[in-house]
Amino acid sequence: MFNPFGFQHKVCGYPLDPEWLRKYAIEHDLDSLADAATDIAYQLNLYPRVRVMYAKGKKPDPFPCLVVGTNLPMDHMPMISPEQLQTVKDFFKTKREPQWYLKGLHPSSPTSARVMLPFGPPQKVCGYALDPEKLRNYAKEHGLDSIADAATDIAYELKLYPRVRVMYAKGRKRDPFPCLVVGTNLPNDNLPAITPEQLQTVKDFFKTKREPQWYLKG
Task: Supply the pLDDT for residue 117.
Answer: 38
Pick the residue with more confidence: 148 or 82?
82
Task: Supply the pLDDT for residue 106.
Answer: 54
Each residue's pLDDT tens digit, 37-76: 778 877 787 777 787 788 888 877 888 888 888 877 666 6
Task: Supply the pLDDT for residue 109.
Answer: 34
pTM for the predicted model, two decimal places: 0.48
Long-range contacts of 48-51 (CB under 8 A, 24+ apart): 48/121, 49/77, 49/80, 49/84, 50/13, 50/80, 50/84, 50/88, 51/77, 51/119
Pick the residue with more confidence: 117 or 50?
50
Q: How far apart are the first and last CA of the chain?
A: 43
Each residue's pLDDT tens digit, 73-110: 666 666 688 898 899 999 889 999 998 888 876 554 33
Task: Supply the pLDDT for residue 153.
Answer: 85
Task: Supply the pLDDT for residue 188.
Answer: 63
What's the CA gap between 182 and 195, in Å, rounded? 10
Long-range contacts of 208-215 (CB under 8 A, 24+ apart): 208/128, 210/128, 212/126, 212/127, 212/128, 212/182, 212/183, 213/126, 213/127, 213/128, 213/129, 214/42, 214/124, 214/125, 214/126, 215/124, 215/125, 215/126, 215/127, 215/129, 215/169, 215/170, 215/171, 215/179
Pick the residue with more confidence: 7 or 67?
67
Q: Percent of the chain, pLDDT > 90?
A: 5
Task: Supply the pLDDT for residue 154.
Answer: 84
Each residue's pLDDT tens digit, 129-141: 888 888 889 888 9
